[in-house]
């Protein structure tokens, strides 16, 4: 006698046990999983269930190609649920570009339709709370994009993951059996950060100079709205309620002025900043000048550090680099031998580097 599954299921759902919610807890054959990735300041989250291959033929069989009548629910042309059990969902915290097409922030049902030639149609639907794709309705589609699958190492349990993560992008991939479907996601992180900073600095976070400094530095490092970066730098430095004149606030403003082409003002501020700096801060600025091929300025900075912080680590290492850049290897070696005795305990990286550099200087080679 042929077994009829759906009526049995229906009768079970209507039983007294169901009405009282008296279900025992059992493991799911396709366990639920969540994977999240932050791209810049944008969280992207996929919630799905993980079926196993279990020696079954997957593509074109267990997962049919195209759109199909699954024999249950209201959909007569259903895509694959891109997982198991409930509808797979994807949540974008901010607006994004998905495989080259714009998609608003929100939570979407994620479906796929596969073709034998390897084309993958990704479907983002307003239906995000249904069971699988049995009730899929094309009119609720928000976006469809296409990519190509690729062959990949065998994966028993279906898995989503993120790779190639940068400040502005990441690749979301579905891997199962010997196929991988990849979906590039991009966000405009700089504009999102700029909008967030403008809003946050109007609230309680705007009463700390450190936040104005961090916001200003972000604009500087990413070459965004430099006049605004200068305004925020001034707030961090001079606001009568919370501003503070220290190495970080002064050097930040100096760097912005320099980028705006106001070099004389920048130099004056930087001179003031250096007098307030810790040994390591002054040393790092000297290294910055060496990287910019301004060896004369670097030498001035390293000598100032020695005057303000005599024998502090890494003052003599800085002097050694400065003298070496100027071609005075004898003075550089003398400073480096002194620095060798001052390396902090456990700092094997600098200790080893100094040994190498001592030999270079003895051979008359620049250590920078």
Give the confidence band of 6 by pLDDT, cuts at 50, 70, 90.
very low
Query: Both 170 and 248 in a single domain?
Result: no
Q: Residue 308 domain-assigned? A: yes
Torsion of CA 20, 26, 30, 36, to 10 degrees: 80
Q: pLDDT category, 70, cuts 50, 70, 90?
A: very high
Could you give the 3-state DSSP secondary structure of residue 163? strand
- Token readout for 14 is 């209507």
214 and 334 share one domain: no
At 28, the pLDDT band (50, 70, 90 cuts) reads confident
pLDDT of the residue at 102: 98
pLDDT at 347: 95
Query: Is position 120 within any domain?
Result: yes
Q: Does the residue 309 lie in any domain?
A: yes
Q: Which of 187, 216, 240 is the last residue of a domain?
A: 187
Task: Assess if residue 163 is contained within a domain.
Answer: yes
Task: Tell me the average pLDDT across 94-109.
Answer: 98
- Each as own residue / partner, the long-range contacts of residues 304-308 (CB below 8 Å, 24 or more positions apart, any chain) are 304/274, 304/275, 305/279, 308/275, 308/277, 308/279, 308/282
Residue 184 CB partners (closer than 8 Å, separation 6+) = 98, 99, 100, 169, 170, 171, 172
Q: Is the pLDDT of residue 13 over 90?
A: no
The answer to whether position 99 is within a domain reads: yes
Instruction: Give helix 263-276 / helix 279-291 axis angle, nearest 10°.
Output: 150
The angle that helices 247-259 and 263-276 make with each other, rounded to 10 degrees, is 160
32 & 138 share domain = yes
Task: Supply the DSSP symbol for 52.
Answer: B
Report the CATH number at residue 227: 1.25.40
Q: What is the residue range of 315's domain?
A: 277-368
Q: What is the mean pLDDT of residues 159-179?
A: 98
Predicted confidence (pLDDT) at residue 214 exceeds the cutoff of 70: yes
322-331 as b/e: b if 16+ CB within 10 A? bbbbeeebeb
2 pLDDT more than 90:
no
> Are 183 and 294 contained in the same domain?
no
Residue 12 has pLDDT above 50, yes or no: no
Looking at residue 21, its pLDDT comes to 54
pLDDT at residue number 16: 39
Work out the average pLDDT over 233-237: 98
Same domain, 40 and 162: yes
Q: What is the pLDDT of residue 10?
A: 34
State pLDDT tens for residues 310-349: 989 999 999 999 999 999 999 999 999 999 999 999 999 9
Burial of 260 (0-12, 13-18, 19+ CB in 10 A): middle
Q: Are 325 and 288 in contact (CB under 8 A)?
A: no
Residue that is written with structure tokens 């250096």 in the block: 274
- Whether cis (ω within 30° of 0) applies to the bond prior to 314 is yes
């Amino acid at each position: 006698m042929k077994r009829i599954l759906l009526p049995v299921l229906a009768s079970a759902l209507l039983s007294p046990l169901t009405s009282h919610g008296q279900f025992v807890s059992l493991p799911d054959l396709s366990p639920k999983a969540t994977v999240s990735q932050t791209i810049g300041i944008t969280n992207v989250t996929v919630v799905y269930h993980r079926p196993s291959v279990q020696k079954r033929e997957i593509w074109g069989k267990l997962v049919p190609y195209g759109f199909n009548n699954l024999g249950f629910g209201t959909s007569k042309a259903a895509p694959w649920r891109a997982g198991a059990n409930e509808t797979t969902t994807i949540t974008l915290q901010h607006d994004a570009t998905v495989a080259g097409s714009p998609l608003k922030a929100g939570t979407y049902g994620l479906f796929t339709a596969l073709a034998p030639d390897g084309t993958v149609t990704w479907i983002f639907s307003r239906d995000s709370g249904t069971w699988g794709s049995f009730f899929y309705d094309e009119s609720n589609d928000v976006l469809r994009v296409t990519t190509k699958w690729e062959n990949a190492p065998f994966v028993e349990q279906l898995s989503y993951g993120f790779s190639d993560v940068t400040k502005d992008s990441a690749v979301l991939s579905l891997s199962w059996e010997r196929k991988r479907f990849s979906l590039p996601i991009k966000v405009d992180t700089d504009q999102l950060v700029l909008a967030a900073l403008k809003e946050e600095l109007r609230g309680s976070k705007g009463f700390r100079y450190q936040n104005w400094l961090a916001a200003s530095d972000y604009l500087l490092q990413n070459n965004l709205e430099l006049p605004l970066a200068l305004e925020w730098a001034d707030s961090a430095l001079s606001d009568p309620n919370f501003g503070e004149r220290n190495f970080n606030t002064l050097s930040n403003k100096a760097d912005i002025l320099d980028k705006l082409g106001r070099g004389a003002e920048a130099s004056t501020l930087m001179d003031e900043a250096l007098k307030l700096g810790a040994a390591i801060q002054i040393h790092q600025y000297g290294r910055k000048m060496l990287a910019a091929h301004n060896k004369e300025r670097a030498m001035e900075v390293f000598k100032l550090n020695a005057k303000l912080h005599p024998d502090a680590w890494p003052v003599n290492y800085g002097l050694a680099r400065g003298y070496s850049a100027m071609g005075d290897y004898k003075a550089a070696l003398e400073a480096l031998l002194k620095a060798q005795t001052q390396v902090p305990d456990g700092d094997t990286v600098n200790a080893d580097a100094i040994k190498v550099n001592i030999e270079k200087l003895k051979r008359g080679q620049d250590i920078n």
